[in-house]
Amino acid sequence: MLLTAIFIALVVGICFGYSLGAVATFKKVNKENNMGDCKNSFRDFAESDITIISKKDNVAYSELENFKRQYHDTGMI
C-alpha cells in the first residue's frame, strides 16, 4: 500500500514539480535579466477611475454600435 501511495505521490510530484520548477526558473530569468520592465500605470496619471459613459447620449457608443452591426453582418460575431 505504501509503495503504491509513494508511486502516486511521485506521479503528482513529477507532473507539478517539473512544471513549477520550470516556471520558477522562467520567473527568475525575468526578474534578473529583464531590468526596468515595470512602467507607470493608469493609477500614476489618472485623476480618478474611468467614468462609464451612458449608452443613450454618447457619440462614441453610437459609433461602437455601428461597428458591432458591421462586425455582425460579416459573420465574425
Partner 1 sequence: MATFCTACGTPLIYDPMSQAMLCKNCGKKIAPENIETEGREYLEDQEIISAKEAFGLKGTECYEMADFNVYSCSSCGGEIIINGTEASTYCIYCGNPSIVFSRVSRLRKPKYIMPFKITKGQAEAILRKSLSGNTLIPEKIKNFRPDMIRGIYIPYHIVSAEYKDALFMEYKEKMVKTRYHEIAGKCVFKNVPVESSSRLCDGISTKLEPYYLKDLVPFDEDYLTGFYSDMTDLSADKLNMTVKRRLHQLFFERIDKDIKGESNKFLYTNPTLNYLKEPDYAMLPVWFITFFYDNKPHTILVNGQTGKVVGAFPWDKKKYENSLMLNMILYTALISMISLPVGLLCYGNVPLFLLVFFISFFGGIFAVAQGFNYKQKTLDMIKQTQSQETMVFVKRRQG
CA atoms within 13 A on the CB side of 11: 5
Whole-angstrom CA distances from 52 to 49, 65, 66, 76 are: 9, 16, 19, 27
Q: Which string of x and - marks every residue 3-42 that binds partner 1 (by CB under 8 A)?
A: -xxxxxxxxxxxxxxxxxxxxxxxxxxx-xxxxxxxxxxx
Q: Does 75 bind partner 1 (CB under 8 A)?
A: no
User: Please, what is the end-to-end C-alpha distance for the chain in angstroms?
Assistant: 54
What's the min distance (Å) between Cβ of 30 and partner 1? 4
Q: How many residues bind partner 1 (CB under 8 A)?
A: 59
- Binding residues vs partner 1 (CB under 8 A): 1, 4-30, 32-42, 44-53, 55, 58, 60-61, 63-64, 67-68, 71, 77
